[in-house]
């Protein structure tokens, strides 16, 4: 959605893409997401995706997407589920493409996510279902550092924020 002077004009710019995480294993459910505004007009969006109750060490994954990515601009289409003023109830089109998101970090029990941008770097704080608070750093090329454990609950209670 683009920022416009009038709200009516903003609603007509609403577009959507379908995201798919991840190439190594299907994780269709989004648990948590966060947006980090970098310097200039660029921004990184990060999301924690899950494969559901399948268990295993690779159940959840952190996907990172650069919102200024040219693939997003080319794939953006009017969202069939969002109708404003000119609703003609035509059948949904297949015009919006699926944008694959690769797994930046795979973990067994990620539950929540918060991010903060510092210059062209993003610091991500990740809560886990077994009581850990992890910190990772994502650079401007979407490369992820090794996770650092900031806190570990002795009771192993899930961390949400």
Mean pLDDT to the nearest integer, 7-13: 77
pLDDT at 82: 62
Mean pLDDT to the nearest integer, 8-28: 80
pLDDT at 80: 64
Tell me which residue range forms the domain holding 56. 7-152
CA distances from 140 to 46, 62, 117 (A): 13, 16, 10
Question: What is the tens place of the pLDDT at every residue in 37-93?
Answer: 887 778 889 999 998 876 678 899 999 988 877 666 666 666 666 666 666 655 555
Question: What is the tens place of the pLDDT at every residue in 24-38?
Answer: 788 989 999 999 988
Residue 103 within any structural domain of the chain: yes
Residue 87 within any structural domain of the chain: yes
Residue 49 within any structural domain of the chain: yes
The residue that leads in pLDDT, 99 or 34, is: 34
DSSP codes of every residue in 95-154: -SPEEEE-EEEEES-EEEEEEEEETTEEEEEEEETTSEEEEEEE-TT--BPPPEEEEE-T
Residue 2 within any structural domain of the chain: no
Long-range contacts of 92-97 (CB under 8 A, 24+ apart): 96/16, 96/17, 96/18, 97/17, 97/18
- Spatial contact of 48 and 111, defined as CB atoms under 8 Å apart: yes
For the chain, the domain total comes to: 1
pTM value? 0.78
Tell whether the model's pLDDT for residue 133 goes beyond 90. Answer: yes
pLDDT at 84: 61
pLDDT at 37: 87
pLDDT at 40: 74
Residue 38 within any structural domain of the chain: yes
Mean pLDDT to the nearest integer, 90-105: 70
């Amino acid at each position: 959605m683009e920022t416009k002077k009038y709200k009516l004009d903003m609603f007509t710019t609403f577009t959507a893409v379908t995201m798919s995480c991840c190439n190594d294993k299907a994780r269709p459910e989004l648990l948590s997401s966060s947006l980090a505004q970098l310097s200039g007009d660029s921004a990184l969006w990060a999301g924690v995706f899950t494969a559901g109750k399948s268990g295993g060490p690779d159940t959840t994954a952190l996907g990172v997407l650069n919102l200024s990515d040219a693939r997003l601009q080319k794939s953006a289409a009017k969202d069939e589920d969002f109708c404003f003023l000119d609703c003609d109830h035509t059948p949904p089109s297949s015009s919006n493409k699926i944008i694959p998101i690769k797994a930046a970090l795979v973990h067994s029990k990620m539950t929540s996510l918060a991010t903060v941008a510092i210059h062209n770097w993003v610091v991500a704080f990740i809560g886990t279902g077994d009581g850990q608070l992890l910190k990772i750093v994502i650079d401007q090329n979407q490369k992820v550092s090794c996770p650092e454990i900031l806190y570990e609950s002795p009771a192993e209670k899930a961390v949400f924020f």
